[in-house]
Amino acid sequence: MALKSFNPYTASRRFITVLDKSHITKQTPEKALLEPKKRSGGRNNHGEIVIWHRGGGHKKQYRQVDFRRDKVGVPAKVAAIEYDPNRSSNIALLHYADGEKRYILHPVGLEVGATVQTGEAADILPGNALKIRHIPPGTMVHNLELYPGRGGQAVRSAGGAAQLLSKEGDLALVKMPSGEVRKFSIDCMATVGQVGNLDHENETFGKAGRTRWRGIKPTVRGVAMNPVDHPHGGGEGRVKGNHPQTPWAFPTLGKKTRRNKRTDKQIVQRRK
């Protein structure tokens, strides 16, 4: 997979790069695996904006992705690789031997026609899902469960991969993509391999319109506002020296916000 650029026949075309989608084998999604996706525009049930700079953008339908990987012992064939507008990675359509169809995250190296499996009998190959107790140390994995049976919640975005470092007793140490080393139960499921679509992070939108197509609205800088609108506002000319704050004067830009003491004991080494 690579990035495509264009001849600069307009000013914005000069900077636009798009992902080469030659590896995508199916253009229309599986109808039975679609759900409607309602847009909130960043508003809560009182109509107040709680997530700013969100709204508009293209309509999307949600693809039901199988994060649990609970069809143990039933082999499946990769029927197609598809684009998913709801995530940075691509998805693979599986046809199981019992006739069921499911989507999974598409890992690097999984081709159409390959067979994937779930359970301890599965080989250590991209796309196969096993409990951590059956995965050898040193293996790169993704789609990790934080709690057994809950379904994969960690390491799901494009290019993501965690490394299983060691196992001792009922716990395993896993190095996350951020550099954090974290404890996991050996009964948690994980999928072998690295999430595909590696060039996603190198794509440049090139113009404001492409950002709006994704439902992201423009952000006005605080220093460009008046004092009544933002703590950074006002002043004759540019003013330095203000601590970075939100419009409501909460510290931001580097301020640590983690307050989940309940799971602190799971973190062996903080991310860099």
Query: Residues 69, 153: one domain?
Result: yes
pLDDT at 271: 87
The answer to the question of residue 127 being in a domain is yes
Query: Residues 19, 108: one domain?
Result: yes
- Reported as a pLDDT band with limits 50, 70 and 90, residue 1 is low
The answer to the question of residue 208 being in a domain is no
Query: Residues 158, 230: one domain?
Result: no
The answer to the question of residue 180 being in a domain is yes
Question: Looking at residue 233, which CATH number applies to its domain?
Answer: 4.10.950.10
Query: Residues 17, 58: one domain?
Result: yes
pLDDT digits (tens, 9 = 90+) for 224-255: 999 999 999 999 888 878 899 999 999 999 89
Please state, as a whole number, how many other Cβ atoms lie within 10 Å of the Cβ of residue 106.
27
Query: Residues 176, 240: one domain?
Result: no
Query: Residues 192, 248: one domain?
Result: no
Over residues 143-162, the mean pLDDT reads 96
End residue of a domain, out of 201, 217, 240: 201
The answer to the question of residue 218 being in a domain is no
* C-alpha distance from residue 236 to each of 105, 203, 223, 227, 233 (Å): 52, 38, 11, 12, 10
pLDDT at 239: 84
Among the listed residues 82, 100, 101, 80, the one whose alpha carbon sits nearest the alpha carbon of residue 91: 82
The answer to the question of residue 220 being in a domain is no
Given a cut of 70, is residue 154 above it in pLDDT?
yes
pLDDT at 189: 97
Over residues 177-204, the mean pLDDT reads 96
The answer to the question of residue 85 being in a domain is yes
Average pLDDT for the chain? 95
Which pTM value belongs to this model? 0.91
Query: Residues 49, 175: one domain?
Result: yes
The answer to the question of residue 206 being in a domain is no
Query: Residues 115, 249: one domain?
Result: no
Query: Residues 236, 150: one domain?
Result: no
β-bridge partners, 105: 91
Question: Looking at residue 64, which CATH number applies to its domain?
Answer: 2.40.50.140
Quick one: three-class SS letters along the chain? Answer: CCEEECCCCCCCCCCCEEECCCCCCCCCCCHHHEEECCCCCCECCCCCECCCCECCCCCCEEECECCCCCCCCCCEEEEEEECCCCCCCCEEEEEECCCCEEEEECECCCCCCCEECECCCCCCCCCCEEEHHHCCCCCEEECEECCCCCCEEECCCCCCCEEEEEEECCEEEEECCCCCEEEEECCCEEEECCECCHHHHHCCCCCHHHHHHCCECCCCCHHHCCCCCCCCCCCCCCCCCCCCECCCCCECCCCCCCCCHHHHHHEEECCC
Query: Residues 149, 232: one domain?
Result: no
Domain hosting 48: range is: 3-201
Query: Residues 259, 182: one domain?
Result: no
* CB of 93 closer than 8 Å to CB of 121: no
Query: Residues 251, 158: one domain?
Result: no
Given a cut of 90, is residue 103 above it in pLDDT?
yes
Calpha distance 181→269 (Å, rounded): 5
> Based on the structure, what is the number of domains in the chain?
2
pLDDT at 238: 85
